[in-house]
Structure 1
Amino acid sequence: MDDCARFGLALSAAAAVGLVNAVLALRWALHFREGFGWDGGPAQFNWHPVLMVTGFVSLQGMAIIVYRLPWTWNWSKLTMKFIHAGLNLLAFIFAVISLVAVFDFHNTAAIPNMYSLHSWVGLAAVILYCLQLVLGLGMYLIPITPVSWRAMFMPLHVYSGLFIFASVIATALMGITEKLIFGLKDPKYKDSPPEAIFVNFLGVLMVVFGALILWIATRKSWKRPSDQILHSLHTDRGGEANTIISPTLSQLSDRVDAEARGDIRKRSSTSGDLDPDN
């Protein structure tokens, strides 16, 4: 069960670090900053980092790996698509609210908008994320979309999702550094006050979270098998669906790969849902 143990360890670490990131962002706003408000002041700005870290980093990361959870492999692919899309949609809503908060704060305080590299890369990431969400919904949740289109678009969908996620973390790191440079006056950021150390630690944990998510998402042996292979495994085991994931993930992956090579050669392009999973 070595591969199962490694997956469980990686998943547990990612979930724990993602939760800690959200808690630390909340702690930053409540303890070191002015809390929360919606009056155009600094308390309104605080919604921006908290919602971005919670939604655009932690939620998006978990949405990326939701297909990889072995105990969901008995669930229908359509169910998993709705969960994946729902988490991404929630992350996007958080991002939009955080953008409204920061633009409103800037306008009230007469601070120019879109002047920093953080704002340029951040807005580009949000726009790309919106396009990714719309195209993903159109391709994989509308039944009339041709299967060939789904299969052709999937590599781009996977790559762009990982690229946007990495870009969001890079943008968040730029953002918290920019906030510390402008927000810390006495003592200054360069003097390493407690707030600076606290937020730097948050930044390190975001990098760790990103590394864990990308590791889980790119391991081929942890990929969800196709529905056809899962059905074959289910039938071979006499209907004991709950035992599908009892072997190690690597053993299941080896069998999946072997059966998939033969199955793909026999299967016509119109049978079943051929789009790969994340």
Structure 2
Amino acid sequence: MMAMENLKQFLVLLSGAAVFGIVSIVFVLTWVLHFREGLAWDGGAAEFNWHPVLIVSGFIFLQGTAIIIYRLPWTWKCSKLVMKLIHAGLNLLAFVFAIVAMVAVFDFHNGANIPNMYSLHSWLGLTVVVLYGLQLVLGIGMYLIPVTPASWRAAFMPVHVYSGLLLFTSVIAVALMGITEKLIFALQNPKYKDSPPEAAFVNVLGLFLAVFGALILWIATRTSWKRPSDQILHTLHTNGGSEDNTKVSPAMSQLSGGMDAEEAGEVRRRNNKFDDNTN
């Protein structure tokens, strides 16, 4: 569906995002298994370590994947409903990861008699989780319940897209705050300011997370890489899928949700254009 040059750019950026995302997961696992106390569910420090692991692997990596799932050209042959279900499923799984990550922190704090919810990191973290849950409920209600009016979907779509990108960016920012806070508290001899190997290692993890987020945002905000509507995909298929037809810009499609009135009008205009070209 993309011109070959754009497809190459897309694949390079997609590969970069995948590499930085996977390496970030490897780094956070190495951090807790090598530098910290490992992983366990016993109310101690090893239980706390589930928090960064689940946030990076779930709340960041899975959420980022959910954001760009519509942009993968090889999924465009799948129906929009199937892609909605995959998008919602990935977001739901990311939300579950975030909830378990928070439970691990509260269990650890309560067991060690450490106050809860006193830092800016905790305030923003809880806020993001609550808003993410609200975004998930509204998204499912708007775009997976057939009786939802198309006008509601169209009106909510800009809010849904903006909120999704804002929450994704916020999760990464809060995660960077959290790993820095953890290093300051945990490193005593030598201290964080002395740049011991663990500090440098986790700082690199933070850089990887920032780059992953930047790549996901770039992919998600390129209008030329949006999934075409099912109507246009069907039209291209019935017109023989010629090279000229497959270069139709998919800029009018949305990241998720049903087709709104504006998109329907665009489909009609493009269908008329196809008809004119074949006459």
CA 1:122/1:4 → structure 2, altered by over 3 Å: closer, same or farther? same
CA 1:69/1:110 → structure 2, altered by over 3 Å: closer, same or farther? same
Q: Residue type matched to 1:81 in 2?
A: K
1:132 pairs with 2:135: yes
1:159 pairs with 2:162: yes
CA 1:94/1:118 → structure 2, altered by over 3 Å: closer, same or farther? same
* Structure 2 counterpart of 1:35: 38
Is residue 14–residue 212 contact of structure 1 (8 Å, CA) maintained in 2?
yes
Provide the C-alpha distance between the structure 2 equivalents of 1:195 and 1:144, rounded to a whole number of angstroms. Answer: 53
Gaps of 5+ in 2: 254-260, 269-279
1:253 pairs with 2:256: no
Correspondence 1:169-248 to 2 at 5 A: 169-237=172-240
Is residue 25–residue 202 contact of structure 1 (8 Å, CA) maintained in 2?
yes
Gaps of 5+ in 1: 268-278
The number of aligned residues is 258
Q: Residue type matched to 1:226 in 2?
A: S
Provide the C-alpha distance between the structure 2 equivalents of 1:92 and 1:255, rounded to a whole number of angstroms. Answer: 29
Is residue 43–residue 111 contact of structure 2 (8 Å, CA) maintained in 1?
yes
Q: Percent identity?
A: 67
Deviation, structure 1 residue 234: 1.1
* Structure 2 counterpart of 1:48: 51
Provide the C-alpha distance between the structure 1 equivalents of 2:19 and 2:250, rounded to a whole number of angstroms. Answer: 30
Is residue 2–residue 248 contact of structure 1 (8 Å, CA) maintained in 2?
no
Q: 1:84 aligns with which of 80, 87, 95?
A: 87
Task: Give the CA RMSD over aligned residues.
Answer: 2.1
Deviation, structure 1 residue 255: 9.3
CA 1:248/1:115 → structure 2, altered by over 3 Å: closer, same or farther? farther
* Structure 2 counterpart of 1:274: none
* Structure 1 counterpart of 2:274: none
CA 1:64/1:263 → structure 2, altered by over 3 Å: closer, same or farther? closer
Per-residue CA distance 1:106-137 (angstroms, 9 max, x = gap)? 01111111111100111000000000000111
Deviation, structure 1 residue 39: 1.3
Is residue 229–residue 256 contact of structure 1 (8 Å, CA) maintained in 2?
no
CA 1:123/1:54 → structure 2, altered by over 3 Å: closer, same or farther? same
Provide the C-alpha distance between the structure 2 equivalents of 1:94 and 1:43, rounded to a whole number of angstroms. Answer: 17
Provide the C-alpha distance between the structure 2 equivalents of 1:262 and 1:44, rounded to a whole number of angstroms. Answer: 48
Is residue 227–residue 250 contact of structure 2 (8 Å, CA) maintained in 1?
no
Deviation, structure 1 residue 252: 3.2
* Structure 2 counterpart of 1:2: 5
Provide the C-alpha distance between the structure 2 equivalents of 1:263 and 1:137, rounded to a whole number of angstroms. Answer: 22
Per-residue CA distance 1:82-110 (angstroms, 9 max, x = gap)? 10011101101100000000001001111
TM-score between the two structures when normalised by the length of structure 2? 0.88
Is residue 169–residue 206 contact of structure 1 (8 Å, CA) maintained in 2?
yes
